[in-house]
Structure 1
Amino acid sequence: MTNSWRALARMARDRIVQADPEDVPLLWSLRLSSLARLRLFNQASAEVTNLFGALASIAPPAARTHVLEHLLPFELDVIHARVKYWAADATGYTDALGALLRRCRRRARASRLDVDRQMWVERGARVGLIAASQFIETKDFAAATALLEPLVATDQPEPPGAELRAALGRVYLQAGQLEKAEEHFAAVAADASGALESTKALNAAFLASARGEWDVASEILRELFAQDDSNYAAVNNLAVALLGQGKLKEGIEVLEAALETSPSTLAMAEPFLFNLSTLYELRSSIAADKKRELLIEVAKWSGDGLRTTCLKMST
């Protein structure tokens, strides 16, 4: 809650050698996740590699398989795959995620209990979203949509989640395919049981923004934020919609008010800080002074791991 990732990493390291063996996998997850949040990627990669090297040496093979398949947290497998990403090996990272996705599908088909099958289906969806994010980062929208489309197919044993379908619609928006985005957003809007009203409203606002209907988008986002003042995705996108209308001053006021209301949450939200810094630059010639004040405020709350480049300050 305080973003004290360095302290958490040290605590996990100290407890790993003292804890009950059943707790060690969880402590490793905490340790490596904290290092990643601190962006100490070289150290995290070295520790992950050493950990999986030690696991691979477990004998006999049946015991090693049991540990890797049943005792190791799935989060550690995901972190192991991210080593390729940290090494800037995009192809290797995609292959590692593909192997994880195949494993999830295999375990889901082999599961006899509904609870286990649902767990592996959800894990597969998570890995699919991670892989889609990688494709989006490389601007390969066709690959991202091809990966996500089967996950929301209506002939799946489990009905697709509304959040997953909404995510696919937003990928189509980034690709400029408004008709496909409308199709998926309409399916989410028609879902009376699984879709949150806030998700439906955000989808409508994104679609209006993509059409250039900034006044419609801002009206939807204002209403959404009025209903839930902790919906910071709405306030961040509201500022973007106001910028689209040329209302810089109002956009700044909206973001500053949100930061003042919940500094501990928004001081770590890099897109929020980036947008506020951009509005400062567009609004006045004293943007440097305003960003310095923002830096001081963020330093009080942000904790460890924040990339200060999101404040757009020159070195």
Structure 2
Amino acid sequence: MEEQQQLQTETLTEHPLNNAYGSLNDICYELSSLQDLACRGSWKSILDKVARARTQALLSKPHEHLVYLTYNTLGLMKLRKFSDAVKEIETLEDGIDNVIYSYENYPQHYPGRVGSMAPFALRWLYAELPSRVGDRQESVDRFYMLLDYVREKMSKSESGSGDVWRKREGLVVNSIISHHLSHKEFGVCLDLIKDLLKRVESAVGRAVLMSKLGYIQMQLGDLEGAKASFNVVEGIVNEEKMGVEMKNLVNRNKALMFMVGKDYVSAVREYQECIDRDATDVVAINNKGLCLMYLRDLADGIKVLEKALESVPTAALNETLVVNLCSMYELAYVNHTDTKKTLSNWIARVAPDDFDSSCTRV
């Protein structure tokens, strides 16, 4: 999930201590090691490191306990141990905003500092976790409360920290949109995006939001509206002379329109242009493979996905691509079980801890 990936770098306190300390490890015990493990998807190692730090009483500052609790909760969530993650976050006494989690409650450790020491990532996890154990409405309610909290912070922030809170606003709104989209509540999604468009100042932010607006319009069957939104995106990218990532966004938008019209040859051309610019564009790689499958060119579709797994495994190894590749194996080969077992064995060797190996359907 995109929001979870962003959270891996959102585990410091809301008022970063790195202005007063020299390194991540000065901010929190072995924080750089935790961040490195998260980037590598070594979630089991994170759980082990947190357990060891707690058992050996290696955490000396109050905020360190919250940072480690955040990593532990995120690790449990990544490993799909959702009930355990809920129990972990429920160890907070009377919720995240309890006064015992504020800097001013520990003047001996944080002289002159005020406000909450709870990492923003912990607040996001607190909102997201109920949906993972079946209480979707509780998650939606908590995300709206988190959005109010973020916007209150934005209104009080100075210019530098305001940029951070604007990014967090986008993260929270996107989380809310994802929940509404999963229940086909398109009208709410459109309202949220249009409201956020009024607030976003960066050209990149506007382009990304307009693309998301176009995707929702497509799901509503408003193809002309989607095309208009995508044209706005292309205009922004061309006017601002943006780089590879945003140029690829334009091509992917065009490809989607072609796919809706079942013009898979043109869609393949757009996706190939993305891949030529960036060999790690996994969305373009996956969708090109699908288009080739729709064109009944299973051999080339399989080659596209297999080549990506071989050449850029870190980017290409995700459940959606693997599911599609296995579907192609099932259509193309009589002995597809053996082929999928070979793929599954390779995945077991190279995949991060949170990869769902059941997607191979072996």
Q: Residue type matched to 2:337 in 1?
A: A
Residues 239 and 110 of structure 1, relative CA distance in 2, 3 Å threshold: same
Corresponding residue for residue 59 of structure 2: 19
Aligned mates of 2:136, 2:121 — CA distance in 1? 20
Write the distance in 1 (CA, Å) between the matches of 2:92 and 2:168. Answer: 22
Match for residue 299 of structure 1 among 348, 352, 359: 348
Partner of residue 140 from structure 2, selected from 72, 87, 94: 94
8 A contact 1:204–1:217 mirrored in 2: yes
- CA–CA distance in structure 2, aligned partners of residues 266 and 147 of structure 1: 31
Q: Is the Cα contact below 8 Å between 2:233 and 2:250 reproduced in 1?
A: yes
Contact in 2 for aligned 1:169/1:182 (Cα 8 Å): yes
Is it true that 1:117 corresponds to 2:162 in the alignment? yes
Aligned amino acid, residue 352 of structure 2: G
- Counting only pairs closer than 5 Å after superposition, residues 258-269 of structure 1 correspond to structure 2 as 258-267=308-317, 269=318
Contact 1:236/1:272, CA 8 A, preserved across alignment: yes
Unmatched 5+ stretches in structure 1: none
1:273 aligns with 2:322: yes
CA RMSD for the aligned pairs? 2.5
Q: Deviation string for 1:172-199 (max 9, x for gaps)?
A: 2233322222122111111132572111
Counterpart of 2:346, as a letter, is E
**C-alpha distance in 2 between matches for 1:247 and 1:8:** 43
Contact 1:270 1:307 survives alignment (8 Å): yes
TM-score by length of 2: 0.78
Aligned partner of residue 280 in structure 2, secondary structure: coil
1:97-142 Cα deviation digits (max 9, x unpaired) = 111111122222233x122323222211111101111111122222
TM-score normalised over the length of structure 1: 0.89
* 3-state DSSP of counterpart to 2:92: helix
Mean CA deviation greater in 203-212 or 123-132 = 203-212
Worse overlay, 74-83 or 163-172: 163-172
Q: Which has the higher contact order (CA 8 A, sep 6+)?
A: 1
Superposition map of 1:1-315 within 5 A: 1-16=39-54, 17-21=57-61, 22-53=63-94, 58=99, 63=104, 69-111=115-157, 113-153=158-198, 156=199, 158-159=201-202, 161=205, 162-191=207-236, 192-193=239-240, 196-267=246-317, 269-313=318-362
Residue-by-residue CA offset, 1:50-108 (whole Å, 9 max, x unaligned) = 125375654599957x9995321111000011221122111111111111111122222
CA distance in 2, matches of 1:309, 1:211: 33
Greater displacement, 12-21 / 299-308: 12-21
Distance 1:55 1:14, change over 3 A: farther
Change (3 A) 1:87 1:52: farther
Shift of 1:211: 2.0
In structure 2, what residue type is equivalent to 1:272?
L
Q: How many residues in Structure 1 have an aligned counterpart in Structure 2?
A: 308
Question: What is the rounded CA distance, in whole Å, between the counterparts of 1:263 and 1:116 in structure 2?
Answer: 36
Q: Taking every aligned residue pair, what percent have the same amino acid on both sides?
A: 23
